[in-house]
Chain A
């Protein structure tokens, strides 16, 4: 295992605890401000102002919400399964917390620098479902149960394209490290992108990763497990107060976690465009900016796009994303095996990404949706 130097020369485990505490505290502040930021951003998309009353431009709104949530009554339904119900928020939160442990926010700025970083992230994220299932089963509510079933089905389906799209990148790191052996270490993956981020080489893989990420996060258009207009919040419908805020914390923490993860793997992390030798503050700012960009896009999509149906969601995963991601994997393998130039990688992946986008657009335009209103815009245009 690679370890960065312990802070102040402390023993390794004290150093780890200090780092964990720092990450958790910073994450909490981030979560509080990302709820505020999301509300502001969504409000702007909807031609509103968003929170304005608490502090200047409503800046303290997040803290006010947090205090309100902590002070709320913690309600447990009568026919809930007590321990399952009460432990579920923690069971969802811990895996997300664990993923934050391996993310490099700048060079060696992270809790631990694992050799198996990428593998660790998706191994631990798999456990996330357990907490959701516990919430759904323990609540004694049918909406919650339905939400949990949907969440489990969806997360299992989308984990495969997610993992395969990451493997595409890991394959390429093998060509970059020089010895032909790829790396799963997130820090190394970031450092390898000093010259160009992997999104240039693998746009298709990034598209697949981004889509699968939206699904894993239960964000629109894949927010089927929490669909407010159908099952009113899904698996956390029965939670209130602090336990509900644990779910919110999990949601936003995992959103940031995925954003940092995606920016490290695809967007060059802290290394691109300022190089591996830049100042740590610049590196931190770079990572933050990239993660923020991903988060903003997630929120943007949420405000504009309706929700898919569960069967359409499954079809999209199993019939489009899975095939494309495996195709990308095979093409990468061929190109890397014969040592063809990397421009070919970029080209094939870009063609694939173009194909994916074309598929979606053709699907929409083939149905000539724009015609109907146009016919009735003027008088007598449609009179028979």
Chain B
């Protein structure tokens, strides 16, 4: 029963969607402010969600119906699971629900894959195009992310346990304090940007090119769930960065404030990048990750070997 509570209430579905919703509002609001606009009200993500829940859900006649309808459910599940696995060690909840870095890495892939599968299942040709871009992008950034991951495992002394990594950082200072840590931060943030499908890597759901791409056929409940998964990922990915590079969260005294600031700072960074760049093409993104980000990551790994 405890697991069910962890999964659905705290730090799972409910907590993650509320927190992620606020972060996504923060992102939208900040975007608006950067563009001299007022921006949406604070509860906007929740309005959107509830509205979409109440709307009609349309399934394309070309779709593989069951898969199309279930894909967003998988997305939410994957996002939630990764959230739980990240936060369980953070909150020091002992038993029952654990996973290591590799598991989290794979679970964080699940929402993206679900979107891709859902888009392909929708039977819309334009979604196909979006899905093809998304999966190419996935191939692109996954390699950089893996390098970063490996570097972190290396820095943590060949352990993959989230708990140990946090503990190590709290004892010996966050990984970002070292030169290799700083270098690792760059590709990792770019991967986060790509995973969140924000500009400059939003080519899969580029509205002005392919009219919504992978989400083109989603409507009503399916769209609501897809949005929910996005909200959760908005919490999960920055938290992941914090856990592996920025010293994790600490929940005592003044550290709560620091942890919150880290989270908000990261979202701020994501939003800034998102608002100061145009979208890249598939080839350019692939080149960006394959050449530049991998280069940085490899240099960081070499530095980490040298103990820097």
Whether A and B are associated in the same complex: the answer reads no
Binding site for A on B (CB under 8 A): none
